[in-house]
Structure 1
Amino acid sequence: MGNQDIVQKLWNLCNVLRDDGITYHQYVTELTYLLFLKMMKETEQEEKIPEKYRWDSLQKLHGIELKTHYQKLLIDLGQQESDTLKQIYVNAQTNIDEPKNLEKIIRSIDNLDWYSAKEEGLGDLYEGLLEKNASETKSGAGQYFTPRPLIDAIVKTVDPQPGEKCNDPAAGTFGFMIAADRHIREKTDDYFDLGQLEAEFQTKKAFTGVELVKDTHRLALMNAMLHDIQGDIRLGDTLSEMGKGLKGYDVIMTNPPFGTKQGGERPTRDDFTFTTTNKQLNFLQHIYRSLKADGKARAAVVLPDNVLFEDGTGEKIRKDLMDKCNLHTILRLPTGIFYAQGVKTNVLFFTRGKSDVENTKNVWVYDMRTNMDKFGKRTPLREKHFNDFQTAYFSDNRENVSDKRWNLFTLEEIKKKNNSLDIGLIADESLEAYDNLPDPIESAEETIDKLEEAIGLLNEVVSELKEVKNNKPENTEETKVGVSGVMKYD
């Protein structure tokens, strides 16, 4: 059994909890509490956990006694001296009401093929679970999950190096930093090519981040731990006072949350030159200000279209960005790659200058949006879709790249457009007539998703009916099964 099969089995257990009213996101958080204990046993690290709360303690109990023990476990582990335990279990509470459901999940987790999971990598298993959660539109988890192919393409383009301090100020589940760690490990024979101090820096200090949402922060900690990353992942708001101390980074890669600050209030930081309620513009200010001013520190940031053309403060921030940094490349991303359909996004690639003025001379733009495939659950984004962009990006002579999607804009041209960066999209009149029509592929995909969900629920009913039938006491007469799926015995 491979990790993909294990992820599907774990995901199917969510149906067990549907009667408890548990959401997909709550379920993944609940799984994190249990998987941490199981994985500590499988990796022989249980000494970090008090003996009475280790995985085997959950297998010895049943019914209300199990639930009571589990509730106490969550509270006590959140108060341990161990930073890892405290951060993963702080304020933890279970959403499972029925003890039988808790017991079923524990038994199911224990019966998985953990030998195969360890062979393929427990970190990859957990990432697969997070990706599954994000792909479920009902979970709302896509807000903190950036598609793996996009992350990998950005990391390959930015090319973080050993010894560099990397940060994600809107870390989500820590996907960018985990991909950066993987990228450097592949280039250094899993850090064996580095000296002891250099290797220790990579695992303990190289990768850091900040996450605002408590449950998401918990997932990030678990994800980092399973990938042997011990860097500082803070729970907090980068746009608050705590963000003022986040600076001096060599590499920043991030996908900040979209929208305005809740209630329309300004960020609580007093060190921003330009004040706005637009969270992406504030994150953009934070990012280019927190890079080392050494002419080498660089960033890649996923931002929605409005950041490229917003007037007023938006224009001032873009001008400040192009002064302090060399904004050398913009990648116009296709629609449909995020789980919120219709979101139009871009990746800005820039390098911090040694001075604070006139660092941007020209901006290269690659259009991956016009006449691209319609991406969705049935036609997922793959890393191969970025091949042409990366060929142009890494070309020794960008001017000689014969790709109509690849175009150069001078700073003078951009200034004439009031510093608007809404540039580089290829005109295609054939698409205009269909812009306001629903995508038939997306509509069909949504219908298929609903049918698959219904089939999954029916399969669960059949499984439960079979279980009841197999455990039917002798000398009873089976009545007919009604449409509701209820079976009685007299």
Structure 2
Amino acid sequence: MSTTTDIVAKLWNLCNVLKDDGVTYTDYVKELTYLLFLKMSEETGTEDRIPAAYRWEELEAKAAPDRLTFYRKLLLDLGDAEITDSILTRSIYANANTIIKKPATLTTLITEIDKLDWYSAKEEGLGDLYEGLLEKNANEKKSGAGQYFTPRVLIDVMVQLTQPQLGEIIQDPAAGTGGFLIAANHYLEEHNDLNKLDEKQWEQYQHHTFYGMEFVQDTHKLALMNLALHDIESDGHSYGIIYGDTMSAEAEKLPKADLILSNPPFGTKKGGGLPSRDDFTFPTSNKQLAFLQHIYRALKPGGRAAVVLPDNVLFEANTGAQIRRDLMDKCNLHTILRLPTGIFYAQGVKTNVLFFSKPENVSQDTGNTQEVWIYDMRSNMPSFGKRTAFTKDYFEDFINCFGTDKNGGSKREELADDADSQTRWRVFSREVIAERGDSLDISWIKDKDVVDAADLPEPEQLAGEAMSELTEALRELSELMDALGAEDEAIAQKNVLAEALGLAESVG
């Protein structure tokens, strides 16, 4: 077992210290973040971003009975601009409060954190340690954190195929805890000698390369901590991961990008309303369709994207079909990867990765998609979860089929042209797609008739899939009633639907 894995397990087990106070796992990770930021700043020699009176050694030096009172004041003051100069520190401690109720509990946490092997942890990478905690949280079904944690193996494959380059602007408009930006940074470090960058190039890399936006403040704090531990600078307001709503005018803080990597949130905007930004051609309350519009509009000429999206984006009629047509006109949607089920811990939805690129010629905004290659990684695949790990080995065939061109321009060949074939890799012309009503929900492999019991999904996954379908059906009914211009009686029915939709989303 590596030191990092061992420390993650020890930190995670400390949650048991708080269980009597009714603390959730996500609250625990947030509390740990407040404490670990102090400790890791000491270990990494970056304590200048914390006022001297509130550093780890000061917290540790307080008498046990007084420590909790001091800690509560520390949390308030580190988020105060009049006390704390560092924008990063203020962002992490913005509106901070503690879930700890007993002085003895805080003392136990501080003592156990201090006992850990920090020297070895630094050698292996503090960023990996923190990501291990986030993954633990996402794996814990009760935390509900899986909604924003994309499996690391999927992120790495998307980054590998889109090949980030030095000097590019890389964006994630639904950043979550920052996994895509961190993976892109790892790729750039592995493929370039950053020590050879001059001062101007280093400034560009640190402050004008990685951009993201996160709407949930608690998640934003985790993202800032994650980036800081991976040596990616972020002030949380103008560069790095910004606290804001991409579906509002705040999206203007995100510059046009050369590469966008993202897993946008699924579902409907809370309250069923439309995005507050007014620059979308096709307004919709469907989050993933709204984010898709943002993404292909936010690409620079010659830019490219890889985006995780649920199945309904591929087949939804009306506004969904209009957005797909607009995407295929303005961009070259060259590849779709149909992902297997069970890879998102808190979601039962079926998902895909869409790979597309925008032409260099800005005036060429029609007819850019001539054909779409689809790889079916879903049919006749195991149900991933506790019994079957989702590893990179499952992607090897798709990676070979995709090719080495980051814009999908590699020479490609179908493995077979028989419509009844079990090949996972096929191409469909734009004309064929148009004949299907511009639906991209295309499958051709027949699932095996006999299902091995070991391959059956987890019960919670089946429940999640049913809830996802119910949520989507309710949303479509709500939009249909809007389109029909319902009278008073129908409005009352619509309100019932809205309440049901909210319930379905909360349960899902």
Assess same fold via TM > 0.5.
yes
Deviation per CA, 1:430-480, whole angstroms, max 9, x where unpaired?
Answer: 16x89xx9965625999xxxxxxxxxxxxxxxxxxxxxxxxxxxxxxxxxx
Query: Would you say 1:220 and 2:220 are equivalent positions?
Result: no
Deviation per CA, 1:300-324, whole angstroms, max 9, x where unpaired?
Answer: 1100000000000000000000000
Query: Would you say 1:210 and 2:216 are equivalent positions?
Result: no
Q: CA deviation at 1:62?
A: 3.8
Give 2:324's aligned residue.
318
What secondary structure sits across from 2:458 in the alignment? helix
Query: Would you say 1:197 and 2:200 are equivalent positions?
Result: yes
What is the alpha-carbon distance in structure 1 between the residues aligned to residue 373 and residue 389 of structure 2?
26
What secondary structure sits across from 1:297 in the alignment? strand
What is the alpha-carbon distance in structure 2 between the residues aligned to residue 329 and residue 117 of structure 1?
40
Mapping of residues 114-263 of structure 1, within 5 Å: 114-189=118-193, 191-231=194-234, 232=239, 233-263=241-271
Q: Which of 346, 365, 377 is 2:386 aligned to?
A: 377
What is the alpha-carbon distance in structure 2 between the residues aligned to residue 261 and residue 172 of structure 1?
17
Greater C-alpha Rg = 1
Mapping of residues 397-436 of structure 1, within 5 Å: 397-399=411-413, 401=415, 404-428=423-447, 430=449
Q: CA deviation at 1:45?
A: 1.6
Query: Would you say 1:394 and 2:414 are equivalent positions?
Result: no
Q: Do 2:342 and 2:457's aligned partners in 1 also have CA atoms closer than 8 Å?
A: no
Q: Do 1:78 and 1:85's aligned partners in 2 also have CA atoms closer than 8 Å?
A: yes
What is the alpha-carbon distance in structure 2 between the residues aligned to residue 290 and residue 438 of structure 1?
43
Identify if the C-alpha distance between structure 1 residues 245 and 34 changes in structure 2 by more than 3 Å, giving closer, same or farther: closer
What secondary structure sits across from 1:218 in the alignment? helix
Give 1:442's aligned residue.
458
- Quick one: percent identity of the two aligned structures? 57
Query: Would you say 1:89 and 2:103 are equivalent positions?
Result: no
Give 1:48's aligned residue.
49
What is the alpha-carbon distance in structure 2 between the residues aligned to residue 310 and residue 324 of structure 1?
19
Of 25-34 and 346-355, the range deviating more from structure 2 = 346-355
Deviation per CA, 1:154-191, whole angstroms, max 9, x where unpaired?
Answer: 000111111100000000000000000000100013x1
Aligned partner of 1:148: which letter? R
Q: Do 1:302 and 1:348's aligned partners in 2 also have CA atoms closer than 8 Å?
A: yes
Query: Would you say 1:356 and 2:365 are equivalent positions?
Result: yes
Q: Do 1:17 and 1:96's aligned partners in 2 also have CA atoms closer than 8 Å?
A: yes
What secondary structure sits across from 2:288 in the alignment? helix
Aligned partner of 1:12: which letter? N
Aligned partner of 2:447: which letter? D
Q: Do 1:244 and 1:269's aligned partners in 2 also have CA atoms closer than 8 Å?
A: no
Q: CA deviation at 1:92?
A: 0.5
What secondary structure sits across from 2:195 in the alignment? coil
Aligned partner of 1:205: which letter? H
Q: CA deviation at 1:42?
A: 0.5
- TM-score with structure 1 setting the length: 0.86
Q: CA deviation at 1:100?
A: 0.9
Deviation per CA, 1:216-266, whole angstroms, max 9, x where unpaired?
Answer: 000000011111111421111100111145342100000000000001101
What is the alpha-carbon distance in structure 1 between the residues aligned to residue 115 and residue 13 of structure 2?
14
Identify if the C-alpha distance between structure 1 residues 286 and 179 changes in structure 2 by more than 3 Å, giving closer, same or farther: same
Give 1:35's aligned residue.
36
Aligned partner of 2:227: which letter? A
Aligned partner of 2:214: which letter? E
Of 379-388 and 252-261, the range deviating more from structure 2 = 379-388
What is the alpha-carbon distance in structure 1 between the residues aligned to residue 457 and residue 426 of structure 2?
30
Of 59-68 and 321-330, the range deviating more from structure 2 = 59-68
Identify if the C-alpha distance between structure 1 residues 444 and 134 changes in structure 2 by more than 3 Å, giving closer, same or farther: closer
Of 317-326 and 242-251, the range deviating more from structure 2 = 242-251
What secondary structure sits across from 1:250 in the alignment? strand
Give 2:478's aligned residue.
none
Deviation per CA, 1:340-374, whole angstroms, max 9, x where unpaired?
Answer: 25320000000012321110000000000011122
Q: CA deviation at 1:194?
A: 3.4
What is the alpha-carbon distance in structure 2 between the residues aligned to residue 330 and residue 194 of structure 1?
36
- TM-score with structure 2 setting the length: 0.83
User: Over aligned residue pairs, what C-alpha RMSD do you find?
Assistant: 2.0
Query: Would you say 1:11 and 2:12 are equivalent positions?
Result: yes
Q: CA deviation at 1:193?
A: 4.0
Aligned partner of 1:336: which letter? G
Give 1:301's aligned residue.
307
What is the alpha-carbon distance in structure 1 between the residues aligned to residue 456 and residue 334 of structure 2?
37
Deviation per CA, 1:38-74, whole angstroms, max 9, x where unpaired?
Answer: 0011111212212221101121224441110000000
Of 31-40 and 400-409, the range deviating more from structure 2 = 400-409
Aligned partner of 2:153: which letter? P
What is the alpha-carbon distance in structure 1 between the residues aligned to residue 460 and residue 295 of structure 2?
40
Query: Would you say 1:333 and 2:347 are equivalent positions?
Result: no
- Aligned residue pair count: 440
What is the alpha-carbon distance in structure 1 between the residues aligned to residue 346 and residue 138 of structure 2?
10
What secondary structure sits across from 1:408 in the alignment? strand
Mapping of residues 101-120 of structure 1, within 5 Å: 101-120=105-124
Q: Do 1:247 and 1:291's aligned partners in 2 also have CA atoms closer than 8 Å?
A: no
Mapping of residues 474-489 of structure 1, within 5 Å: none
Q: Do 2:414 and 2:427's aligned partners in 1 also have CA atoms closer than 8 Å?
A: no
Identify if the C-alpha distance between structure 1 residues 283 and 341 changes in structure 2 by more than 3 Å, giving closer, same or farther: closer
Of 393-402 and 129-138, the range deviating more from structure 2 = 393-402
Aligned partner of 2:70: which letter? H
Q: Do 1:377 and 1:445's aligned partners in 2 also have CA atoms closer than 8 Å?
A: no
What is the alpha-carbon distance in structure 2 between the residues aligned to residue 267 and residue 16 of structure 1?
42
Q: Which runs of 5+ in 1 are unaligned?
A: 447-490
